[in-house]
Amino acid sequence: MQIQLTNTLTRRKEPFLPTDPARVTMYVCGPTVYGNAHIGNARPPVVFDTLFRLLRHVYGESAVIYARNYTDIEDKIIAAALRDGVSIDAITRKYERIYEEDMGALGVLPPTLTPRATENIPAMIAIIQKLIDNGAAYVVPTGVYFSVGADNDYGKLSGRAQDELQAGARVEGEDDKRHPSDFALWKASKPGEPTWDAPFGAGRPGWHIECSAMIEEELGSPIDIHGGGIDLIFPHHENEIAQSESAHNHPLARVWMHNGFLTMDKEKMSKSVGNIITPRELLDQGWQGETIRYALLSAHYKAPLDWSDDLLRQAQASLDRIYGALLRLKDAPAAKADAPEPFVAALADDLNTPAAIAELSALVTAANVAKKAPEQAKAKAELQAAAHFLGIAQDDPQHWFRATFGEVAAAQIDALVAQRVEARAAKDFATSDRLRDELAAKGVEVMDSAAGSTWRRKG
Ligand code: AMP
Ligand code: ZN
């Protein structure tokens, strides 16, 4: 299956051709660990987890090496540690753990590698030294800066022209850099801040060099795919390219992919705006992790996605339909099947998750009408295989309905269903019908079969 991906660098959708199909490499910029990730921050890891699953399917599980880093040294982390009066490590380790729990709840597979910036400082120092040696960077009292003017193709990813960049934002504490758009590779040590020794003076790394070094150290460049949110194109990814390519004289990454924003009321979800909601808050409200995941995958990754309770309700209703079909077929014989070709082809077409979801819906319809046992077995296996690709519907269907109703309501429903089973056994059809109506009023549909009675949410 030929995967096609939209490359931000060429601005085209193109066939994905890894340098070495036996070692496919992907790097996605991970979180700065000083606070809870919001649901917008969860979009890149969920999108690229889905791509990871597709790559593993096409190239083999062990052929794909996916690194997602932790930025565990950065201005905001230092500020948070000072504010809370705790060590940097205490902050970063705490939020790494919370991040991993949140991602687990959203069905995100652990990446192959999760490097930390602080564990790759020597690699950063090595790149910076190379850039100083070849004239692409310079040392001044506040630190080491990359000289944007020395890089002829600076701006190629974001499409920003050099003269646009002349304006460059003023950054506090960087008064001695030579040009406003030059950026810090290394920040000279300040009292009370963590520092590392380096030949060009003690200090700490800038954010952009962290990713360049982790890519070099963990994967080796050029890598096949580099991903992140659209806001990282400039300056973060532009600067990663500038540093790495000026140091190594070959591309940093072949394909650059960027997900669109998650918005709320059409405004980008962000801490600074204050319109954030975290996965933990949604889970505490009773939404299931896979409902959140389904909602995140319901739009194409490049498109904006407007977050709302309505989106979550629709996602839950779609999952109900999938689990309802699996519940109907719960006693169908087990079979082995691959996800059907049209479903995989939709994902291979630039990770078109809405088209894949439409194919999944067709598989639900097939499962709902399957009559004979072999047909049922095949429909169920294909549905499960496709759902697995998206990282959804791997739960036991009965457990899904219990969880989405909540344990208290589920226990009441169980009791009514049990009474109804008794009434039917006693041929008390009036009571049995009354109980069915009572359950229907709660939004519950009872499913009777030779094996017993189960229930699901009414469609
Ligand atoms: P940050 O912690 O701001 O560096 O963001 C971590 C990741 O989340 C980056 O890849 C960002 O591009 C991405 N991101 C941040 N906010 C949003 C949003 N509202 N929608 C989609 N992605 C986002
Ligand atoms: Zn990065």
Q: What is the pLDDT of residue 169?
A: 61
Mean of pLDDT over the chain: 96
Query: Across residues 1-23, what is the average pLDDT?
Result: 98
Q: What span, in angstroms and rounded, lies between the C-alpha atoms of 113 and 436?
A: 52
State the pTM of this model: 0.96
Q: Which of 75-84, 232-241, 376-385 comes out lowest in average pLDDT?
A: 75-84
Domain endpoint, select from 380, 398, 416: 398
Statement: residue 167 has pLDDT above 60: no
Ligand 2 centroid from CA 29, angstroms = 4
Statement: residue 281 has pLDDT above 90: yes
The DSSP annotation for 162-178 comes to HHHHTT----TT-TT-S
Say if ligand 1 is within 6 A of residue 43 CB. Answer: yes
Maximum Cα–Cα distance across the chain: 91
Domain endpoint, select from 259, 285, 314: 259
Whether residue 374 sits in one domain with residue 229: no
Element (H, E) at 424: helix 407-425
Mutate to test the pocket of ligand 1, among 27, 36, 41 (most ligand atoms within 8 A of CB): 41
Query: Which protein residue's CA is at the shortest distance from atom 11 of ligand 1?
Result: 229
More confident residue, 459 or 72: 72
Query: Across residues 351-376, what is the average pLDDT?
Result: 97
Q: What is the pLDDT of residue 163?
A: 62
Domain endpoint, select from 235, 259, 283: 259
With bands split at pLDDT 50, 70 and 90, how would you rate the model's confidence at 450? confident
Look-up of token digits 């921050």: 41
Q: What is the pLDDT of residue 168?
A: 57
Query: Across residues 403-420, what is the average pLDDT?
Result: 96
Ligand 1 centroid from CA 229, angstroms = 5
Looking at residue 232, which CATH number applies to its domain? 3.40.50.620
Whether residue 95 sits in one domain with residue 151: yes
Whether residue 351 sits in one domain with residue 308: yes
Q: What span, in angstroms and rounded, lies between the C-alpha atoms of 263 and 192?
A: 37
Say if ligand 1 is within 6 A of residue 305 CB. Answer: no
Q: What are phi and psi of 40, to 5 degrees?
A: -70, -40
Task: Write the pLDDT tens digit of every residue in 184-210.
Answer: 999 999 998 999 999 999 999 999 999
Query: Across residues 101-115, what is the average pLDDT?
Result: 98
Whether residue 131 sits in one domain with residue 245: yes
Half-sphere exposure of 96 (CA within 13 A, CB side): 18
Whether residue 236 sits in one domain with residue 99: yes
Looking at residue 374, which CATH number applies to its domain? 1.10.730.10
Ligand 2 centroid from CA 317, angstroms = 36
Q: What span, in angstroms and rounded, lies between the C-alpha atoms of 306 and 314?
A: 13
Say if ligand 1 is within 6 A of residue 118 CB. Answer: no
Q: What is the pLDDT of residue 172?
A: 77
Statement: residue 165 has pLDDT above 90: no
List CB-based neighbours of ion ligand 2 within 5 Å. 29, 211
With bands split at pLDDT 50, 70 and 90, how would you rate the model's confidence at 449? confident
Whether residue 415 sits in one domain with residue 384: no
Query: Which protein residue's CA is at the shortest distance from atom 7 of ligand 1?
Result: 41
Number of domains in the chain: 3
CB atoms within 10 A of CB 341: 11
Say if ligand 1 is within 6 A of residue 262 CB. Answer: yes
Q: Which of 441, 436, 449 is nearest to 327 (CA)?
A: 449
Contact 393, 323 (CB under 8 A): yes
Whether residue 18 sits in one domain with residue 120: yes
Note down the domain range covering 350. Answer: 264-398
Task: Determine what percent of the chain is predicted with pLDDT higher than 70.
Answer: 98
Whether residue 272 sits in one domain with residue 255: no
Q: What is the pLDDT of residue 160?
A: 85
Whether residue 431 sits in one domain with residue 292: no
Element (H, E) at 446: strand 444-449
Say if ligand 1 is within 6 A of residue 228 CB. Answer: yes
Q: What is the pLDDT of residue 192?
A: 87
Whether residue 310 sits in one domain with residue 371: yes
Whether residue 60 sits in one domain with residue 178: yes
Say if ligand 1 is within 6 A of residue 232 CB. Answer: yes
Say if ligand 1 is within 6 A of residue 261 CB. Answer: yes
- Output helix, strand, coil percentages for the chain, rounded to the nearest 5: 50, 15, 35
Whether residue 334 sits in one domain with residue 275: yes
